[in-house]
């Protein structure tokens, strides 16, 4: 188990370093980095947008909790969990900037409607999680399938909130903070079968 913990530690650390490094680059090279995130207007976001974000968080976390390793580590606070919380914050910012702000705003500027924006954002987000298939094809399929729905859900939140990225960042960070490091450990232990936990 110590080996699995060390591997999980390395994976989370790598995510933080890579995504955090890119975020720092954007921060230092962008004139309006913080203003584009929407935290200053978060209080103006509609009640329904908050409800949709809460629904996405609850449904995704509830589904992920069916994996024993995820539920075991959800509220288990230790060194690995603290690092996972840092990783959740970094991923929340980085992935929402890429898959919601940059991708969906680009599609919007190209004249694509909300439906296409949601589907493409969800697909791109799901395909980016193919990397979970390091141990088995079933893990890649599982991760891609479920993260498609998370990505599409967050894309809907982005639209319902009048494209306020901060709400998506908050929701994404909460989801990742709750399901990690358990989800990474389940992949390393080869517990992710086709749409269910492998026993």
Instruction: Give the tens place of pLDDT for each residue, 38-78.
Output: 999 999 999 999 999 999 999 999 999 999 999 999 999 99
Does 111 reside within a domain?
yes
Does 146 reside within a domain?
yes
Does 197 reside within a domain?
no
Confidence of residue 31 (pLDDT cuts 50, 70, 90): confident
Does 58 reside within a domain?
yes
> Residue 32 sits in which domain range?
2-188
Does 179 reside within a domain?
yes
Does 195 reside within a domain?
no
Length of the chain: 199
Does 6 reside within a domain?
yes
**Domains identified in the chain, total number:** 1
Q: What is the mean pLDDT of the chain?
A: 92
- Using an 8 Å Cβ cutoff, are 168 and 154 in contact? yes
- Neighbouring C-alpha atoms within 13 Å toward the C-beta of 76: 13
What predicted TM-score, i.e. pTM, was given to this entire model?
Answer: 0.94
Does 174 reside within a domain?
yes
């Amino acid at each position: 188990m110590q080996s699995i913990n060390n591997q999980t530690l390395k994976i989370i650390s790598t995510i933080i370093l890579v995504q955090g490094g890119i975020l720092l680059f954007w921060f230092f090279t962008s004139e309006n980095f913080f203003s584009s995130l929407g935290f200053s207007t978060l209080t103006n976001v509609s009640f329904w947008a908050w409800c949709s974000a809460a629904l996405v968080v609850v449904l995704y976390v509830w589904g992920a909790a069916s994996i024993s390793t995820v539920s075991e580590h959800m509220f288990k606070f230790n060194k690995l969990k603290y690092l996972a919380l840092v990783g959740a914050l970094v991923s929340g910012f980085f992935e929402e900037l890429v898959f919601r702000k940059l991708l969906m705003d680009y599609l919007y500027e190209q004249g694509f409607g909300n439906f296409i924006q949601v589907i493409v954002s969800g697909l791109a987000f799901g395909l980016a999680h193919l990397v979970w298939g390091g141990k088995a094809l079933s893990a890649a399929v599982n991760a891609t399938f479920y993260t498609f729905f998370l990505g599409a859900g967050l894309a809907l939140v982005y639209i319902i909130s009048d494209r306020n990225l901060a709400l998506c960042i908050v929701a994404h960070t909460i989801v990742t903070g709750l399901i990690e490091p358990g989800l990474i450990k389940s992949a390393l232990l080869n517990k992710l079968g086709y749409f269910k936990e492998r026993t």
